Chains A and B, each alone.
Chain A
Amino acid sequence: MTTRAELPHTESPAGPSRPRGDDPPFVPLRVAVAALLRKELGLELRAPQAVPAMSLFSITTLVVFHFALQRGQVDGDLASGVLWVTLLFAAMLGISRLFVADHEEGGLDGFLLAPTDRTAMLVAKAVGLFAFLAAVEVVAIPAFALMLLGPSPPIAAYGQLAALLVLADAGIALVGTMVGAMAVQTRTRDLIVPLMALPLLIPVVIGAAKGTAPLLATAGPHSVEVRWLFVLGLYDLVFGLLAFALFDYLIED
């Protein structure tokens, strides 16, 4: 008696075959990504939901921080922490909504029927989420500077801050796309997203917060330690590879 569950496969031993002359054209990845991105950004521009909500939420969070910390101004470590917690929580909102429109309106099936690589959905969603995060930061960071930040960082610091933002946002976008795809199939979507995404994003918080702290300090060298850029870069690389390898399994049926 065997305890193996019988599950005979229909896949041929040789695996998937090569294209033949009479096959329909396979739509290249960049074309599919462009079409998906266009739809994604077009939908958000047409019926803005995610970006305004995330931006408003980030400003509200700053107000809450003012009262919770009982401070009119923050600098250094504290400023860095406030900024990144605010951005992170706004990101949670965006991740929860990322696949909802597709799931509810059958867009996923429409994409799955197309003769193109599934990875196009991963790339398009991750780039879309990155774009949304960038849009929110355009609002949130000046708001933060106006409302809570004490010292004015020198111009040189802005470039470094931008580098940190790009690396951190890339990590959030990749993890967010994976977690968003997983969460959209569950019945407790809004609960699962923060529970799963926040622990996964702690290395990003570490790298970003530690990296940003000297930039927002009142005194001292306003430069980012390279090790934090390395942490963020490594994280992006690992999760990029993971997402590329695993995403197909999340959207197929």
Chain B
Amino acid sequence: MLYGTRLRALSIATLVTMTAALALAFFYAPMDADQGFMQKIFYIHVPLGIVALCGFVWGGINGIQHLRTRDPKYDLRSYVAIHLSLVLGAGVLITGSIWARASWGHWWVWDEPTLVSFLIVFLLYATYQPMRFSIEDREKQARYASVFAVTAGAFVPLNFIAVRLAQAYTHPRVFATADGGLPAKMQLPFYLSLLGMALLYVTLWRYEMASKNTSWQLRALRRKLAGDDAVPPVGRTAAPTLPSS
């Protein structure tokens, strides 16, 4: 699968969608009576969170494929998916903290179960790269990383259920209206932002996949043409390495 195609089209689509979403959020969506302008960070925070979680699950799916077929390309896909989601996850926690400050006056609250669950998931996935780095055997590293990706992926829903049950007696969801759904004027910017975040993720994922694949193919070519000695040995790394053919 070629990852480098359609990158330009995807980038433009991402830019356009995100700009439109942010514009709508700032100018079109209603201002929240209690929280004021800061509430608008919700349009970034929640879509980021949803996309990050989907990314983690996508990492787990690729992990399953890697274990089943032992094809290292799936390991690379899993690695890129997880480490991108982790970056987005940091964004979720930061924007969540800003939102908590706006809503409740504190930089962190335990009342919002989704945010708390997300923190736990983030802490778990943050061990992914250190674990990879500390296993030197490449094949073992990839295999263990895939087991981790699958386990952590299955853990995500379990964790959300448990934390939600634990918080059952506290504050209701912040952005629900009396009847439980999103008010109409908030829906368009929200869904547009969600689409934009998804496009952002896909674009970044494809970009990184293309970049890594190309550099490994270059290495393999150099090795073939100029011999093993022309290529400096790769030191310890957490990133997957593709075997030279």
Residues of A within 8 A of B (CB): 1, 3-7, 9, 178, 182, 185-188, 191-192, 195-196, 199-200, 202-203, 206-207, 210, 227, 231, 234-235, 238, 242, 246, 249-250, 253
User: Contact mask B175-190 → A, CB, 8 Å, 1/0?
Assistant: 0000000000000000
Interface size on B, residues (CB 8 A): 43
Among B144, B159, B217, which residue has its beta carbon within 8 angstroms of that of A185? Answer: B144
> Which residues of chain A are within 8 angstroms of B137 by Cβ–Cβ distance?
185
Provide a sorted-by-A list of 27 A–B residue pairs whose CB atoms are within 8 angstroms: A1-B217, A4-B73, A5-B71, A5-B245, A6-B245, A178-B147, A182-B148, A185-B135, A185-B137, A185-B140, A188-B134, A195-B126, A195-B127, A196-B127, A196-B148, A199-B120, A200-B151, A203-B158, A206-B162, A207-B162, A231-B162, A238-B158, A242-B150, A242-B154, A250-B143, A250-B147, A253-B140
Whether the pair A187, B136 counts as a contact (CB closer than 8 A) is yes
Among residues of B, the one whose C-beta sits closest to the C-beta of A186 is B134
Q: Assess whether A7 is in contact with B146, with CB atoms less than 8 Å apart.
A: no
Q: If A187-B136, A196-B124, A231-B165 touch, does A203 touch B151 (CB 8 Å cutoff)?
A: no
Chain B residues 158-213 with CB under 8 Å of chain A are 158-159, 161-163, 165-166, 213
| Interface assignment of B70: CB less than 8 Å from any CB of chain A | yes
Tell me if A7 and B217 are in contact (CB < 8 A): no
Does B87 have its Cβ within 8 Å of any Cβ on chain A?
no
Looking across the interface, which residue of chain B has its beta carbon closest to that of A209?
A: B166
Contact B243 A186 (CB under 8 A): no
Contact of A3 among B124, B152, B161, B213 (CB under 8 A): B213
Q: Is the interface of B mostly helix, strand, loop or mixed?
A: helix
Cα–Cα distance between A137 and B138 once the two chains are bound (Å): 40
Known contacts A4-B1, A196-B127, A207-B162, A249 near B147 by CB under 8 Å: yes
Q: Which residue of A lies closest to B147 (CB)?
A: A246
Contacts of B245 in A (CB 8 A): 5-6
Contact, CB under 8 Å: A7 / B243? yes
Please tell me if B242 contacts chain A, counting CB pairs below 8 Å: yes
Q: Which residues of B contact A249 (CB under 8 A)?
A: 67, 143, 146-147
B94 at the interface (CB under 8 A from A): no
CB-based contact B130/A5 at 8 Å: no
Closest to A3 in B: B213
Interface residues in chain B, defined as those with a beta carbon under 8 Å from any beta carbon in chain A: 1-3, 67, 70-73, 120-121, 123-124, 126-127, 130-131, 134-137, 140, 143-144, 146-148, 150-152, 154-155, 158-159, 161-163, 165-166, 213, 217, 242-243, 245
The smallest beta-carbon distance between A84 and chain B, in angstroms, is 13
> 6 extra interchain contacts, Cβ-Cβ under 8 A, other than A178-B151, A192-B131?
A188-B130, A202-B120, A203-B158, A207-B162, A231-B162, A253-B140
Taking a contact as CB atoms closer than 8 A, the residue among B3, B126, B147, B163 that contacts A182 in the complex is: B147
Contact residues in B for A206 (Cβ distance below 8 Å): 162-163, 165-166
Closest to B66 in A: A249
Of B70, B121, B151, B154, the most chain A CB neighbours within 10 A belong to B151
Across-interface contacts of A231 in B (CB, < 8 A): 161-162, 165
Q: Which residue of B lies closest to A243 (CB)?
A: B151
Instruction: Say whether chain A's binding surface is mostly helix, strand, loop, or mixed.
Output: helix
- Chain A minimum-CB-distance residue to B136: A187
Which B residues lie within 8 Å of A200 (CB)?
124, 151-152, 155
Q: Which of A182, A195, A202, A235 contacts B144 (CB 8 A)?
A: A182
CB distance from B41 to the nearest CB of A (A): 26
In the bound complex, residues from chain B placing their C-beta under 8 Å from that of A235 are 158, 162
Q: What 6 pairs across the A-B complex have the smallest Cβ distances?
A: A203-B162, A199-B124, A186-B134, A3-B213, A5-B242, A188-B134
Cα A188 to Cα B134 in complex, Å, equals: 6
| Residues of A contacting B70 in the complex (Cβ-Cβ under 8 angstroms) | 7, 9
Question: B158 contacts which chain A residues (CB < 8 A)?
Answer: 203, 234-235, 238
- A182 vs B128: C-alpha distance when bound (angstroms): 12
In the complex, chain A residues whose CB is within 8 Å of the CB of B150: 242, 246
Given the interface pairs A192-B134, A202-B159, A249-B147, the reply to whether A5 lies near B120 with Cβ below 8 Å is: no
Q: Which residues of B contact A207 (CB under 8 A)?
A: 162
Whether the Cβ atoms of A227 and B135 lie closer than 8 Å is no
